[in-house]
Structure 1
């Protein structure tokens, strides 16, 4: 595995995403797909299935949160520095329905020291926003690609 300094920023982000997604059983179980990743950004997609509907017939809000949180994780871990959520919030704008193709687009707003701030927009296939998520990250010690190793 090439060292961080041997890869350009885009290649490093892709290598981190590949390593993380291979270990991310939760995102895989929900049918999430990694669409795009780059330094400080990520796009994930998920189709709303019948087993994701709540009692009102809409996609469960916790699953919308999970999709946004996964995009947040891939964006803030794109530098091969193990990073976790320090806090996050979500505002639901519209319900997601059975069969909707949801996209979570994460973008880094700030990354200084050991903290970062990320905005994630969840949209349905027609571009209509479904939710807005904001996450605050905290960098730990260690590598994303090689857990337990220093980055």
Structure 2
């Protein structure tokens, strides 16, 4: 039996800004749900992410406003990009969301996530979703929990799965 040689580990960028950008790009590439909803990462940094989405006609509910679950998804995706920005696998542990205004078909919604606190394996992030008129649509607070592993895994790690 011949064993194929696996490539060495892919080095993650050492610069925190470049690392956050690389992590966000890798996560979005694997994120079929966010991609399907048309989300685009506008900015990523250490403990920070800004993600945009246009409300399409197929995203409105019976009240002709954007379905709250889809706005939640936008806020949750920004939260995920922000809390994984240091390349440590991190998941949501809890969240709270306040819907303040409706999103309408054609609106451009932007979710801005910022780290507020971090200690040990836990973090707290605030996400504000605004429309193109800079009106606040949603306030979201997420609590994160760090788990094992890194976002930017090596090819060897992936081959072992």
Secondary structure at the counterpart of residue 52 of structure 2: strand
Instruction: Provide the residue aligned with 2:143 in structure 1.
Output: 136
Q: Residue 103 of structure 1 aligns with which residue?
A: 110
Runs of 4+ more than 6 Å apart: none
CA distance in 1, matches of 2:152, 2:132: 32
1:65 Cα shift? 0.4
Q: Identify which of 86, 92, 96 aligns with 1:85.
A: 92
Q: What are the Cα deviations for residues 7-63 of structure 1, in whole angstroms up to 9, with x where unaligned?
A: 110011011111111100000000000100000000000000000000000000000
Task: Give the structure 2 partner of residue 50 of structure 1.
Answer: 57
Aligned to 2:36: 29
Show the counterpart of 1:7. 14
Give the C-alpha shift of residue 140 in structure 1.
0.3
Select 1:19's aligned residue among 16, 23, 26.
26
Structure 1: gaps of 5 or more residues:
none
Normalised TM-score (structure 1) = 0.94
Q: CA deviation at 1:111?
A: 1.0
Residue segments in structure 2 that go unaligned for 5+ positions in a row: 1-9
- The SS at the match of 1:127 is coil
